[in-house]
Amino acid sequence: MAGRAESPAAPRTQEEVRWRATRRGRLGWYGYDCATSVFATSVTSIFFGPYITDVSENAADASGYVHPLGIPVLAGSFYPYVAALSVLLQAFLLPAAAAFSERYDRGRLLALSATGGSCAGIGMFAIGPTDYLLGGVLYVVSIMALGASIMIANTYIPVLASPGRQDRMSTEGSAAGFLACGVVLVLDLALYANHDAVGLTESQAVRLILLVTGLWWLILSVVSIRMMRGYGTPPAAESRAATSGVYRTLFSTLFIAVRRLWKLPGAGWFLLAFLLYNNGMQAVTSLVGTYAVEEIGISQDSLVIAILAVQFVAFAGALVAGRLAERYGGRRVLQGLLVAWTLTVVTGALVPDEAFFAFLTLCVGAGLVVGGTYALSRSVFIRLVPKDQTAEFIGIFEMVNRCLAFLGTSAFGIVLQVSGSYRLAWLSILVFFVAGGVTLVLGLKGRSAGGSLKERKTAHG
């Protein structure tokens, strides 16, 4: 009887010891999330798109076309095409990065991708009034490096946290990223709004913001990767055994991992659910600004206030989601978050015209759930796959996250084109959250919150 009384306490004690022992590495991992989140928000979501579009229009001929590599492209379409190209190329890069991360020191790989991406971001300062092609190349390089580095960084989760603490680690990293985004975005917008007062033109202010954001990524990466030193080194025996076949398996890693998903139905169901609701989430976060301005009539200044509010609310939301996941389980909390997303979309369709405070409430609601949704999805999926194959499965997860997130936005565009109604187009996003929630429940049928017994034995030995 005494042994039975002590056995539940032992794992908790070991878990706590491991949690404290990896504190330095986790702080470094949180720091890297701050580095990449700021770059993704300031550059890809806010400043680069409008700036490179202006540059393209300056370089356009009399018909409004630019000619990259001799191909006629409408100046206004250059950035969307470049963004699409960066997504397409990641479909080839991420499996390769996953293969290498299983064979070589992840810290070095992370340093290589972070340095390449951040230097490309720093180089954006050199984009002149008509240097659209330079801007396009630097953007593609930075986004590819960003995707690869995030994929590699995610492989540290099972190394730095036991299964019972992975939800907490994942959500704390996301929370740190949102907080950093909020703080840096305030400074960026202050510089942009007051560029005349400091003697800068609007384009010079944007270029300076791009430069500082690239430097932020580079400097914070150096500190963070140094703190994670030693945690990303694969066992020497495994590394030597795998090196001989690295070139043969490099481009087949993705297909092998997809085939292995058939043997892990819990992971397969979960990935399908993530594909669906992630498309809904990506559609909301990328189109809410357009919806607010074009349909509700929110001014650009008011929209900026709402975006800032989302960053700080998401910080708190991610922390709360992590604590709830520790108590009730990651997938149960995800189900609750999907219900909240559904209510958010419905509420958004009912916001009256020019009702800023109603729209701000909508943004606050989205901010509360956006911080935890991706973070918990990441940690739950990691627990459903074999620990020794984490890298390649995370490669698939990030491909779904980054390369297959066009369905929601495409549905929005199709419904808008057919109906001419932004509100109906907005409601079309609801389908993805409902379908994702149903799929998540189906994946749980007959299994515990941590997966089937067979899956748990496979994943954790």
Mean pLDDT of 134-143: 93
Residue 449 counted as domain residue = yes
Phi/psi-derived region of residue 418, left when phi > 0, alpha when psi is between -120 and 50, beta in every other case? alpha
**pLDDT given for residue 248 in this prediction:** 47
Residue 21 counted as domain residue = no
The tens digit of pLDDT for each residue in 237-269 reads: 444 444 444 444 444 555 655 666 666 778 888
**pLDDT given for residue 363 in this prediction:** 85
Query: Which of 175-189, 201-215, 275-289 has maximum average pLDDT?
Result: 201-215
Of 194, 216, 249, the position where a domain reaches its end is 249
- The most distant pair of C-alpha atoms in the chain lies apart, rounded to whole Å, by 87
Sign of CA dihedral 227, 229, 234, 237: negative
- Domain total in the chain: 2
Residue 14 counted as domain residue = no
pLDDT at 186 over 90: no
Q: What is the rounded CA–CA span in Å between residue 454 and residue 264?
A: 9
381, 440, 456 from 267: Cα distances, Å: 6, 10, 11
**pLDDT given for residue 4 in this prediction:** 39
Of 222, 249, 276, the position where a domain reaches its end is 249
Of 202, 231, 249, the position where a domain reaches its end is 249
Q: What is the rounded CA–CA span in Å between residue 151 and residue 388?
A: 16
DSSP letters, 249-308, are HTTTHHHHHHHHHTT-HHHHHHHHHHHHHHHHHHHHHHHHHHHIIIII---HHHHHHHHH
CB 439 within 8 A of CB 250: no
Sign of CA dihedral 442, 252, 148, 385: positive
Of residues 18 and 350, which shows the higher confidence score? Answer: 350
Q: What is the rounded CA–CA span in Å between residue 44 and residue 59?
A: 21
Residue 66: phi, psi to the nearest 5? Answer: -110, 165
**pLDDT given for residue 10 in this prediction:** 46
**pLDDT given for residue 256 in this prediction:** 59
Q: What is the DSSP letter of 65?
A: E
Mean pLDDT of 393-414: 80
The tens digit of pLDDT for each residue in 165-176 reads: 888 898 888 888
Task: For residue 347, give the nearest of 356, 330, 359, 333 by alpha carbon.
Answer: 359
| Total number of residues shown for the chain | 461
Residue 231 counted as domain residue = yes
pLDDT at 114 over 90: yes
Whether residue 383 is found in the same domain as residue 307: yes
pLDDT at 442 over 90: no
Alpha-carbon 443 to chain mean position: 23
**pLDDT given for residue 122 in this prediction:** 96
**pLDDT given for residue 233 in this prediction:** 64
Whether residue 199 is found in the same domain as residue 284: no
Whether residue 395 is found in the same domain as residue 379: yes
Mean pLDDT of 379-405: 80
Residue 47 counted as domain residue = yes
pLDDT at 58 over 80: yes
**pLDDT given for residue 457 in this prediction:** 43
Whether residue 357 is found in the same domain as residue 373: yes
Residue 10 counted as domain residue = no
Whether residue 241 is found in the same domain as residue 326: no
Task: Give the SS3 label for residue 420.
Answer: coil
Percent of the chain with pLDDT over 70: 86
Percent of the chain with pLDDT over 90: 25
Residues in CB range of 132: below 8 A, 6 or more apart: 52, 55, 56, 58, 59, 66, 68, 75, 78
The tens digit of pLDDT for each residue in 201-237 reads: 988 998 999 999 999 999 999 999 999 988 866 554 4
Mean pLDDT of 121-142: 94
Mean pLDDT of 77-92: 80
At 26, list the tokens.
């986790």
Whether residue 295 is found in the same domain as residue 432: yes
Whether residue 222 is found in the same domain as residue 265: no
Residue 8 counted as domain residue = no
Whether residue 181 is found in the same domain as residue 217: yes
Structural domain of 338? 252-461
Query: Tokens 């356009």 — which residue?
Result: 60
CB 127 within 8 A of CB 207: yes
Q: What is the rounded CA–CA span in Å between residue 382 and residue 360?
A: 34
Whether residue 155 is found in the same domain as residue 261: no
Q: What does the mean pLDDT of the chain come to? A: 81
Q: At what angle do helices 356-383 and 330-350 cross, to 10 degrees?
A: 160
Whether residue 301 is found in the same domain as residue 431: yes
Task: For residue 136, give the nearest of 32, 213, 221, 59 by alpha carbon.
Answer: 59
Residues in CB range of 186: below 8 A, 6 or more apart: 308
What CATH number has the domain bearing residue 117? 1.20.1250.20
Whether residue 260 is found in the same domain as residue 303: yes
pLDDT at 131 over 60: yes
Q: What is the rounded CA–CA span in Å between residue 209 and residue 341?
A: 32
Whether residue 164 is found in the same domain as residue 256: no
Q: What is the rounded CA–CA span in Å between residue 191 and residue 187?
A: 6
Residue 224 counted as domain residue = yes
